[in-house]
Amino acid sequence: MFYETRERDKRLLPHDPFKAIVAPRPIGWISTRAKDGRINLAPYSFFNGFCSAPPIVGFSSEGAKDSAAFAVESGEFVANLATLNLLHPMSETSAPLPRGDNEFLHAGLTMAPCRLVAAPRVAEARASLECQVTETVELRSRQGATMDRYLVLGEVVAVHIDDRFIKDGRFDTAGAQPIARCGYQDYAVVERLISLARPPGAGG
């Protein structure tokens, strides 16, 4: 099958497969604190790391949602790791609550203080990244039109790891069972790793 994006045959592919192809996507479970103290928590799967030194992560908001708005106005956010044991509460925090309603309370999650940023982290998360916003990019279509989509990038300034998932000086990714977003209503779980040394001289 081939199709130009704008000409997808909706009888053959009723749902856009884009998110099922760009998959699995890690989930940035973003907690923020507005300047006036309102707390927010929501999952973002247009999320990733973009650089290791300095460590930069970013999430993309389709519309000026609370997470992006609060991160931009406060200059801070926390990216919490979503894991299989937190699948349901993570999903609950995507509910469209009125602006400023605290999704921690809605999903029965515990707020834990951060050290370098004012936003709380998810106490139940097996890892959390404290971030300071470095830039916000308003995404554009190929014609240059802005479309109310915002990529918020932040430098990781502090890291929390649940000590149970540190093994032999490494974060036990498979043991922590991160979940990742695929297309439709599907998620993937990381439970098995394969290791491969890089070719000699390969950087990065």
Ligand X SMILES: Cc1cc2nc3c(=O)[nH]c(=O)nc-3n(C[C@H](O)[C@H](O)[C@H](O)COP(=O)(O)O)c2cc1C
Asked if 102 and 33 count as a contact pair (C-beta separation under 8 A), the reply is no
- How far out from the chain centre does Cα 82 lie? 8
Q: What's the angle, vertex CA 31, arms to CA 36 and CA 71, rounded to 5?
A: 55
Cβ closest to ligand X, residue 86 vs residue 114: 86
Helices and strands, counts by H and E, the chain: 5, 14
Q: How far is the CB of 24 from ligand X (least distance, A)?
A: 11
Q: Does 181 bind ligand X (CB under 6 A)?
A: yes
Separation of alpha carbons 139 and 136, rounded Å: 9
114, 158 in Cβ contact below 8 A? Answer: yes
Element (DSSP H or E) covering residue 67: helix 66-74
Which of 157, 136, 160, 159 lies closest to 148 in space, CA to CA? Answer: 136
**Number of residues counted as binding ligand X (CB under 6 A):** 17
Interaction between residue 96 and ligand X (CB under 6 A): yes
**Cβ proximity to ligand X, 97 vs 161, nearer residue:** 97
Question: Is 173 a residue that touches ligand X (CB under 6 A)?
Answer: no
Binders of ligand X among 59-78, rule CB under 6 A?
60-62, 65-67
Cβ neighbours, 10 Å, residue 191: 12
Binders in 110-149 for ligand X, by CB under 6 A = none
- Binding pattern for the stretch 20-59 against ligand X, x by CB under 6 A and - elsewhere: -------x------------x-xxxxx-------------
- Closest approach, Cβ 33 to ligand X, in A, equals 12
Q: How far is the CB of 2 from ligand X (least distance, A)?
A: 27
**Residues binding ligand X (CB under 6 A):** 27, 40, 42-46, 60-62, 65-67, 91, 94, 96, 181
